[in-house]
Chain A
Amino acid sequence: MTMQSTVQSPDQAPFLDVADPAFSVSSEAVMEARRRSWYARTSYGLAILRYKEVSALLKDRRLTQGSAKWPERNGVHGGPFAEWWSKTLLNLEGEDHHRIRRLLNPAFSPRLIAGLTDRFQALANELVDAFHDRGRCEFIKEFAEPYAARVLAIMLGIPESEWERMSNMSNRLSLALGVTIKENIDTIHDALAGLYAYADELISDRRANPGDDFVTRLVMASRDGDRLSDAELRNAIVLLIFGGMDTTKHQLGLALHTFIQHPDQWQLLAERPELGRAAVEEVMRVNPTTTWVTREAAEDFEFQGLHIKAGTTIHLFNEAAGTDPEAVPDPGFDITAERPPHFAFGGGMHHCLGHFVARSDMSVALPLLARRLRNPRIDGEVESLPRSGNTGFVSLPIAFTPAA
């Protein structure tokens, strides 16, 4: 008899208790499960653990984006948040999704975003100037959060001084991603109303005074005689803020934390700023803020001998895929290495809309930080989110050696 390297029956598959706040996608339990099998059963459904299968299922048309029922599953039926959520690009499928995506895409063109790198650079320098001479900072509060928020302000063409107000509304809206969504619903609705008012003001301003900016491009977007309605525009602007703020903030904190553990790579990045783009990719492979991508089976189907029932929640563990020895035999962190693409921006038709912005702003920030903050180290109490779902640091105090 030969040993089978992969278990095929659901009963033999490993089990991962992903709903436990102590669960970590980087744990030995996940690595062990990945060695045994390409999937695990979880408290929600299935977890996909290996690169090849994550890559395939991410783009599989028999799966839909799996977040549409989130409010309902957590006791929120109807109301402004559920209404917004159901109409966001994230949760639309088929031609409804494609139509909005076609109208939004041109505003996110990489050619247009390339024109913003000087402003990203100036912003990063200004933020570093404020704490540089001290030789220490709380990286999330003093860099990652204002950087993420002010990049959005630059994109939206609003005064950068508004960032705290916008960030505050976005943070409160983000409570909707927690399992406590129902008890926080009043705060969430209040934040959503604030962001709607913000978006409405922007839309009417750019209609009256069109410029050469991102919001004007959205307002003017047309395709085959079709346009975005005011409600669709406002929905999209709120999604941009909601989707761009925490992700960028957390990815920057996670990036710095990874580099603190790999000082030689930080030094290399300081010396070779052209490695900024590769640094972003390598960090997102091993330490992504989005540790899994959620999908739902739209129909019953067979995949590699496994019967998957319609309605099954499927978590694609992109971090586990990124460190899968089958795909990346060298387990190290190396910003000069050739790597297969990671899936931290998701994939398929729901591939992250804002990834060119995120890639651009982070690839500007990281080499600049590496040059100016030498020898960074942890300097105090680190507070982090659970290492599952969307992760990151709440607080990341660091000390460093200032350099010009």
Chain B
Amino acid sequence: MKVTVDRALCQDHGQCAIAAPDVFRMDDDGKLVYEPNPDDSLRDEVEEAADVCPVQAILIGD
């Protein structure tokens, strides 16, 4: 699965890191870091992260 975050939209709220901590996390400066090619077994939590993103900045590809 391919994950892309639109950095122009992302505001580093960190909701994705709460929803899918295996794929998204906030670094020490509060900036988002994420795994762009997570395992397919994590699809549910990645979809939830994309869903809850307040600015809808997460795109999921195959």
Contact = CB atoms under 8 A, between A and B. Distances in A.
* A, B bound: yes
Contact of A348 (B14, B48, B51, B56): B14
Interface string B3-46: 00000000111110011010000100010000000000000000
A340 to B, nearest CB: 10
B18 to A, nearest CB: 5
Label chain B's interface by main secondary structure.
Answer: loop
Given A61-B30, A110-B51, A102 B18 contact: yes
Interface string A349-363: 101000100000000
Q: How large is the interface on B (under 10, 10 to 19, 20 to 34, 35 or more residues)?
A: 10 to 19
A101 B26 contact: no
B48 A106 contact: yes
Contacts of A56: 30
A102 B14 contact: no
A349 B54 contact: no
B30 A59 contact: yes
Contacts of A351: 13, 15, 54
B60 interface: no
B18 A349 contact: yes
Closest 4 CB pairs of A and B: A98-B18, A105-B52, A109-B51, A351-B13
Interface of A: 55-56, 59-61, 98, 101-102, 105-106, 108-111, 341, 345, 347-349, 351, 355
Interface of B: 11-15, 18-19, 21, 26, 30, 48, 51-52, 54-56
18 contacts: A59-B14, A98-B18, A98-B21, A101-B15, A102-B48, A105-B15, A105-B18, A105-B52, A106-B48, A108-B52, A109-B52, A110-B51, A111-B51, A341-B11, A341-B55, A345-B54, A348-B13, A355-B54
Given A105-B19, A341-B11, 9 more contacts: A56-B30, A61-B30, A105-B15, A108-B52, A109-B51, A110-B56, A341-B55, A345-B54, A349-B14
